[in-house]
Amino acid sequence: MQTGDTAVTVQKSVPVLRYSPSPRSAPQRAPLREAVLLVRYHLRLLDRWPFALMALAFLGCALLAWAQAQSGTAQGLSTANDLSRFVLEPGAGLFAGVLAGSLVVSDPLLEATMATPTGIHGVVIRRFLLTLVILLVCSVAYLAWSLGAGITYARQQSPLYLLLVWLVPVMLMGMLGLFGSLITRNAALGMALAAVPLAGSLFLYAPLLPIQAAHLFFVTYTYSGGQDASDWWANRLSLLAVAMALAVANLWLLHREERLLASRP
């Protein structure tokens, strides 16, 4: 009987161990070094040469605009203004179309990318945001320099106005370039498709100008002379809506992973 009581006492004295997750076991944010390595990895897959050429193009245009602005003549200042509008509107949009067209088709490990937790759509979104940030840094640097040099983009320009001058062609041509590359599975064709509305806006501006409805779809409305038009804001919002519709279509295509693998060259 004493032995039984001793056993019961021992059992009661043994603490019950229960697992309680420690706050430290929660997933930690990736260190800065890992984030930098991840960005370098994506840049290597996306080919760094287009980004280098983009930076050189911004620098070259800045030197040309500075030379024209320093001439001291009205014609020189007008040329500098036109060049700056071209850089921030059709120029930035063209770079966005070229870079976005190769977000998927240049990846040699498409199957491995699809097997990641984020999926191919998550990887493409990260790459597009990385491209957008690099393009934004170059554009903001050029914009700050041009405004400091006395270059104007409109009679009544504001931060929102300058943002839409840049954002609309970048989003529209970027989404169109990605859409074309996903449909054709060819980066060059995607870039060519992205350049179609840009070429139409540049070369068909004068014939289409009398048609009021066509004003909503001029990609280069600021550069072509409509920067102070009453329907400029409607033009920006219409093109932004088209870009959002293309973004939804791109997400739908990226979720059709079987098609991406089946149509792979």
- Across the range 84-107, mean pLDDT stands at 85
pLDDT, tens digit, 9 for 90 and up, residues 96-123: 998 888 777 655 555 555 555 556 777 7
Domain-located, residue 28: no
The range of the structural domain enclosing residue 169 comes to 34-262
Report pLDDT for 37. Answer: 62
Which pLDDT band holds residue 257 (cuts at 50, 70, 90)? low
Report pLDDT for 248. Answer: 95
Contacts 24+ apart (CB under 8 A), 9-13: none
More confident residue, 198 or 112: 198
Domain-located, residue 46: yes
State phi, psi for 154 to the nearest 5 degrees: -165, 170
Percentage, residues of the chain above pLDDT 70? 72
Report pLDDT for 26. Answer: 44
- Across the range 239-254, mean pLDDT stands at 93
The amino acid at residue 102 is S
- If one counts the domains in the chain, the total is 1
- Across the range 69-83, mean pLDDT stands at 85
Report pLDDT for 24. Answer: 47
Highest mean pLDDT among 8-17, 30-39, 65-74, 226-235: 226-235
Domain-located, residue 175: yes
pLDDT, tens digit, 9 for 90 and up, residues 54-72: 889 999 999 998 888 887 7
More confident residue, 14 or 168: 168
Say if residues 233 and 159 touch (Cβ distance below 8 Å): no
| Torsion sign (Cα): 118, 124, 129, 134 | positive
- Across the range 186-201, mean pLDDT stands at 87
More confident residue, 141 or 73: 141
Domain-located, residue 122: yes
Domain-located, residue 241: yes
pLDDT, tens digit, 9 for 90 and up, residues 127-184: 888 889 999 999 999 999 988 888 888 887 889 999 999 999 999 999 999 998 888 8
> What's the mean per-residue pLDDT of the chain?
80
Domain-located, residue 12: no
Which pLDDT band holds residue 221 (cuts at 50, 70, 90)? very high
Domain-located, residue 208: yes
More confident residue, 134 or 37: 134
Which pLDDT band holds residue 1 (cuts at 50, 70, 90)? very low
pLDDT, tens digit, 9 for 90 and up, residues 225-236: 888 899 999 999
CA distance 167 to 68: 26
CA distance 245 to 218: 17
More confident residue, 202 or 186: 202
pLDDT at 10 over 50: no
CA distance 43 to 203: 34
Domain-located, residue 38: yes
Report pLDDT for 94. Answer: 92
State phi, psi for 18 to the nearest 5 degrees: -125, 140
